[in-house]
Amino acid sequence: MKCCVESCTQSSDSLVAQTKEVTFHSFPTIRWLRKSWLVSMGMEESNLPLCASVCSLHFQKDNFDVTAEGEPKLRWNSVPSVFKVKRNIASAAPLFISPGQFCVICLDVESKLVPLGKDLSKAYSYVTGIPNGDYGQNLLLEAEAYT
């Protein structure tokens, strides 16, 4: 397994990966989240390797939870945002978007953004005005409108 991020040399054969300091994560199947990953990485779906994965070095530390076994588990709505080189968003745009500086639903980069850190429900409530609760389905329905 090899990280598909341009200029990243991490693979499952590397010493760091063998010591389990680096984990590999398959692309999500949820369309809006998959698109968010691609935009964040400056890639097109057509250029994606068949079994594409991204290594843990491209995610923020707070994108991970720790399982009961002590293993890192990537949160379902995380988007890779740590890159050694600047990424061009939407392939042709010369603008570099800082990590996390785009909407994970519609990929908007121009509006005022609210960080969706550890407490997604509070941020979602702040943005939408919908009280805290089961925001997952509402978020997915909103995201489907943009795919």
pLDDT of 63 above 70: yes
DSSP code string of 21-34: SS-EEEPPSSHHHH
Q: Is the pLDDT of residue 69 over 90?
A: yes
| pLDDT tier for residue 66 given thresholds of 50, 70 and 90 | very high
Residue 15 in tokens: 């010493």
- The average confidence (pLDDT) of the chain is 72
**Counted domains in the chain:** 1
Q: Cα–Cα distances in Å, from 143 out to 20, 31, 62, 136?
A: 33, 9, 23, 11
Domain coverage including residue 86: 15-144
On whether residue 9 sits in a domain, the answer given is no
109 is a domain residue: yes
Question: Would residue 8 count as lying in a domain?
Answer: no
**Looking at the domain assignment, is residue 21 inside a domain?**
yes
pLDDT tens for each residue of 4-39:
998 899 998 876 656 678 999 999 999 999 999 998
Q: Is position 90 within any domain?
A: yes
pLDDT value of residue 54: 96
Give a yes or no: residue 37 inside a domain. yes
Residue 1 falls inside a structural domain:
no
3 domain-assigned:
no
